[in-house]
Amino acid sequence: MFPLNDGGVISGLVCGILFGFVLERAGFGSPCKLTAQFRFNDWSVFKVMFTAITVSAVGLYLLRLTGLMAADSVFVPTSLLMAAAIGGALVGAGFAIGGYCPGTSIVGLFSGRLDALVFIVGLLLGTVVFAGLYGPTVEAIMAMAEVETGDTLVDAYEFSEPVVLACILVALAGVFALGSWFERRSAEGPVSAEQAVNGAPGEQQA
Amino acid sequence: MPAPSKTIKPFWPPFAAGLALGFVLLLTFVLTGHGLGATGATTRFTAWLGMTVAPSATQANSYLGQMVENGNPLFSWITWQVIGVGIGAFAAAYFSGHLRLQFDGSKRIGTPARFAAALFGGLAAGFGARISAGCTSGLGLSGAATLSIAAFVFLGTFFAAGLIFSRLFRGV
């Protein structure tokens, strides 16, 4: 029954509009709020991401359990762990330095932030540099450390899916408990919408 | 078009925003069979720009060339999705009083430094997302929802590098 495998314009626009709307209302157009995660005074990034991962992972499981979705019918990234590790580190570094990740830079731009446009120009330049260096050496590095037995935690290591989902739920509770504890302890606390709209303050005001 | 909101509405609480994002991601899987993304579109846009500026070099490139073989690289679901992100983000900002034209981060570190940080940060992220064939949305978020091993590795090094580099540089 599902997925519908609808690659059309309307499906793209609908999913994108909802995605962009939610990211903006979560505060993820603000580089100040996004990077506050790494200063530990605002745990919104971890909290929102872990909640979303849990909801959709449990949802996909239930859809398969009830027969509404066939097994192996959604795209799973290949378990090329070297590529994932290097890419993750570079995107994380870019996030800390530039204040956005690729998706949130679109949200930043469309909430009026011209620094996000500069970040997007950087994204395009990074793609050009990658395309320029692409060849046998880069391909060989990207092919390293593939998990041969499968792409998901369930397939590759034969973990039971309910157990993996239960672990994710425990991790989610842990993120909220730990995050809220850090937020209460910090002098600044989470970045409010007023603070975000006013932009990252100067050091004397911070 | 109604006037933009004058009062600045608060951000959604993280749990509510996370629930909403989770259901949007689930809807995307149900509709399309894959998750949400971002750099799929910026890569296709780069290939399109390449065809506009330097078509022969783009066609000869082993990475971008395969993307322009079958006509306009922008004709893809992910392009519409990223256009949607822009529309959705604009609507949310407009009706919540969050819309403000600014160069965010200038007050803190000055405009030239903020320009350099945003450009360099974008470059690192753009390069990195091509190595991992996905960014925080496409691989981290969407992949983790399918319990992909690569997604959890990506999220692990993403947060580790973010922690380290946010202590070495003040980019915002």
Nearest CB neighbour to B98, from listed A90, A128, A197? A197
Residues A135, A39, single domain; the answer is no
- What's the pLDDT tens digit per position in B57-112? 999 999 999 999 988 999 999 999 999 999 999 999 999 999 999 999 999 999 99
For testing contact with chain B, the best of A79, A115, A160 (most B CBs within 10 A): A115
Distance (Å, whole) CA B129 – CA B146: 19
Question: Alpha carbon B59 to chain centroid distance?
Answer: 25
Rg (CA), chain B: 18
Digit-coded pLDDT (tens) for A53-84: 999 999 999 999 999 999 999 999 999 999 99
Q: Could you tell me if residue A85 is inside a domain?
A: yes
Contact A47 B91 (CB under 8 A): no
Query: Quick check: A204 pLDDT over 70?
Result: no
CA A86: distance to chain centroid?
Answer: 16
A103 shares a domain with A62: no
Does the complex come out with an ipTM higher than 0.90? yes
Task: For residues A104 and A126, state if they share a domain.
Answer: yes
Cβ of B171 within 8 Å of Cβ of A120? The answer is no
Chain A residues in contact with B118 (beta carbon < 8 A):
98-100, 115-116, 118-119, 122
Tell whether A26 and A58 lie within a shared domain: yes
Instruction: Collapse the DSSP code of B95 into the 3-class scheme (helix H, G, I; strand E, B; otherwise coil) and give the result.
Output: helix
- Kindly state whether residue A1 falls inside one of the protein's structural domains: no
Confirm whether A5 is domain-assigned.
Answer: no
Q: Is B63 in contact with A116 (Cβ distance < 8 A)?
A: no
d(CA B29, CA A2): 9
pLDDT tens digit sequence for B35-71:
999 999 999 999 999 999 999 999 999 999 999 998 8
pLDDT tens per residue across span A158-171? 999 999 999 999 99
Structural domain including A64 reads: 19-74+160-195
- Among chain A residues, CA nearest to B155: A88
Q: What is the pLDDT of residue B171?
A: 82
In a domain, A13, yes or no: no
Do A96 and B161 lie within an 8 Å CB cutoff? Answer: yes
Residue A8 lies in a domain: no
| A85 and A136, same domain (yes or no) | yes
Per the structure, the count of domains in chain A is: 2
Looking at the fold, whether A135 and A183 belong to one and the same domain comes out as no
- Best of B155, B157, B168 to mutate (most A CBs within 10 Å, chain A): B157
Residues A127 and A165 in one domain: no
Cross-chain residue pair A103–B32, CB shorter than 8 Å: no
Paired strand residues for A2: A69
| Residue contact B50–A93, C-beta within 8 A | no
* Model confidence pLDDT, tens digit, residues A121-147: 999 999 999 999 999 999 999 999 999
What's the rounded mean pLDDT across residues A94-120?
A: 98
Q: Where exactly are the structural domains of chain B?
A: 11-101, 105-172
* Residue to substitute from A10, A17, A72, interface B, most B β-carbons within 10 A: A17
What is the chain A residue with the closest CA to B35?
A75
